[in-house]
């Protein structure tokens, strides 16, 4: 068996099924902490339904947990650009930037996430 055939078979596995079936498969991989497999399923799903936040956010989380921080950042920035008040995406973006040692860039996102969550300092 050549590598091209194996790669095609693997891609077919991750792309198999309806969007709802792939979403459920991706969630199962994520819950099992197989973040790389979850990301493989989610990439195609995000391409198919780019306007939906749920699959893109789970893809960003899968990238974050598998230390693919630049990819996580890219997905999170897409979400935040579309929906500036998506507080969890803001929080994850801040944490992703922190994990890359970019604390100054992370600060505003973490503060906005905190404010959107209603975590205001007590006076």
The answer to whether position 56 is within a domain reads yes
Q: In this structure, is residue 105 part of a structural domain?
A: yes
With beta carbons less than 8 A apart as the criterion, state whether 41 and 29 touch.
Answer: yes
**Would you give the DSSP letter of residue 72?**
H
Neighbours of 34 (CB within 10 A): 16
Is residue 122 domain-resident? no
What angle (nearest 5°) sits at the alpha carbon of residue 74, between those of residues 71 and 80? 140
> What's the CA gap between 79 and 67, in Å, rounded?
19
Q: Is residue 42 situated within a structural domain?
A: yes
When pLDDT is cut at 50, 70 and 90, the band that residue 78 belongs to is very high
pLDDT of residue 118: 83
> Where in the sequence is the domain holding 32, given as residue range(s)?
3-116
Is there a contact between 116 and 87 (Cβ–Cβ < 8 Å)?
Answer: yes
What is the rounded distance in angstroms from the CA atom of residue 72 to the CA atom of residue 4?
Answer: 27
Task: Note whether residue 98 is domain-resident.
Answer: yes
Number of compact structural domains in the chain: 1
Instruction: Report the pLDDT value the prediction gives residue 69, as an integer from 0 to 100.
Output: 97
Closest of 69, 68, 71, 70 to residue 56, by C-alpha: 71
Work out the end-to-end distance of the chain between its first and last CA atoms, rounded to an integer number of angstroms: 68
Residue 57 lies in a domain: yes
Q: What is the CATH number of the domain that holds 32?
A: 1.25.40.10
Residue 112 has pLDDT above 70, yes or no: yes
């Amino acid at each position: 068996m050549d590598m091209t055939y194996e790669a095609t078979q693997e891609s077919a596995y991750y792309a198999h099924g309806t969007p709802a079936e792939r979403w459920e498969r991706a969630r199962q991989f994520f819950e099992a902490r197989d973040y790389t497999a979850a990301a493989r399923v989610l990439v195609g799903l995000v391409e198919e339904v780019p306007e939906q936040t749920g699959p893109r956010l789970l893809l960003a989380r899968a990238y974050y947990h598998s230390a693919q921080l630049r990819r996580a950042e890219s997905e999170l920035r897409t979400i935040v650009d579309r929906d500036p008040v998506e507080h969890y995406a803001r929080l994850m973006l801040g944490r992703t930037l922190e994990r890359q040692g970019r604390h100054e860039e992370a600060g505003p996102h973490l503060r906005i996430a905190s404010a959107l969550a209603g975590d205001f300092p007590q006076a």
